[in-house]
Structure 1
Amino acid sequence: MTHVHTTETLTPEETEAVLALAEAAGDHDGVAPLSEQTLLRIRHGARPGTARFHVAVDQPSSGTNSSEVVGFAFSARTPDEPDSAELVVAPGRRRQGHGFALLRSLSGDAPAAGLRVWAHGRTEGAVALAASAGWTQVRGLLKMRMRLRGEAHQPGAGAALPEPVLSDAVGERTVIRTFRPGVDEEAWVATNAAAFADHPEQGGLTLEDLRERENEDWFAPEGFFIAEDTATGAIAGFHWTKVHADGAGLANEPVGEVYAVGVDPAWRRTGLGRALTLVGLRHLHERGLPWVLLYVDEENRAAVRLYESLGFSVWDADVMYAAQ
């Protein structure tokens, strides 16, 4: 029998079990079932009122007290907005009703604004669960990739990256440098919020969120590029790159990611975003990485066209579902 425990705080034992479940599901499906932000909340906790954890356990009917964590869901809560959730079921315990139990728990716990659920990758199980629940896609996040390093048997493979070029007007007003830990945090949070004002996941990152990422093993300031307004010292734009040591499903060696590119609204349509993108891509290329990936909202056609013009192509997609 499935029992779903809903809480704002995971115990150390629950944290360990959920992280192990997520890792097993990622290995089985070839795609991570939970986002980086969710994993950070699992490991470090969440501010009161901002998140809910749903832990599904299979309680035997034989009279024993033992139970097994068979599924997990997380919902991020923002005032006056639908909850944004994710869920995962252990690979060996699927098609036994645990996914529906988690979906019912998320729906019953959601605010009046409703609920939306992300599925990472168009996996067979996620598509089937959404269809059987009568849910439809309301948003898509494209996963794009580009080869950076060609193989010997693939003549011409790999990126031919142009030089990042700024117009004279922009070049005279900005300097591109790397991020300075302990100095740039507050300015970056402000620019990120302005750049992604219409993107709740990215634009809502706080100073605490940034510092958590700075403490991650993958964080490398030498791959975090800042365009500084030389007149004011403000951050005009940025390109934060990331290296996935596990290959992110693309290779059996580290690969790169265009983690976040943002430009302050006052600097849009100046070519700064393209230049910063190229600076980061060339950095990843110089590291000898075979691939680079990125995520972009499928409705952001301008960004999709930019990445396609640089050599990226669609690889997979994350899908957000909601009840009809």
Structure 2
Amino acid sequence: MEIPVDATLILVEDFLTSHGLTAVREQSTTANPVLVADLNETAPSAPLILLGHLDTVFPVGTAKQRPGVIDGERLTGPGSNDMKPGAVMAIATLLALKEANYQAHPVRLILVTDEEILHKNAPTKETIARLSKGAVAGFNFESADPDNGVVTGRKGGAIVDLTVTGVAAHSGKEPEKGRSAVLELAHQIIKAEALTDQAAGKLVNCGLVNGGTSENIIPDHAPTGIAVRFTTVAGTTVEMKVATKIDSMDTLPGTAALLEKLQASARLLHQPVPHGKQTGGASDAGVLTAHNIPTLCALGIMGGGAHTAHEYGLVSSMFDRAALVATTIAHLD
């Protein structure tokens, strides 16, 4: 049975093919394929990258429980902000350039399927880097805040697997022999979350917790996912493993010039001029900037509430921002 991201892949592949573009799956032998489509592959100049992802954070079945709805200007539903519309916008930008007979640069569309888990257990970061080699600019269609900002720098991110091991025992007959891994994990979570310092850019979130096998057994195993260092206590052991990480999106020497070109395009289109901003939340733009490719991020739909049941996007911003990126690319040297 196909999971939703597989069905989305097929839908996008068919759509691109029907519009005269070839879609190719990279690292297709893994569970996390990367979809690539090219325009002007043989052009002699350096390539440009359109980047996005097709996965969301929501479990299978969420879309059936609360399907996507457009009510006037407001789009709601799972992925309505992060980032189904952004993927559509990236595709629309590529097709707009094709229809305009754009030929100045090769343009490569890269859509990944595991961004929300920071490409855990897959070589996606390396695949993005390989597919983007030699590029002179990147445009990432992550969702944007409704303030008309464009992201020029982001924090990095990591997923750290942490497992506490205790001693199992019957909670009624011989509780003194047990050492609760769940109890110790609770203490570690409190310590970890206390390290958050938003003003200093330190963000810690223990977002997935498990442990125990029965209500009447002192649990000897309890994993979670955090991104901090900590100390252990007597009777338990703690194992920490960095499962995956993504580089911060750095503001490069060429970032300001790329933003200025985007702003000039906004004036040409009689759109409000976007401003540059720094933000938290890692994205694949960090993969591009780590390889010295000036990149603008949050070029997708404007809205809010990402990763929650109340996420939304503003429909008109989809057209406006796709047109803005396409116009910017059309005027690059």
Q: TM-score, normalised by structure 1?
A: 0.27
Larger % of strand: which?
A: 1
Q: Which is richer in helix?
A: 1
TM-score scaled to structure 2, two decimals? 0.27
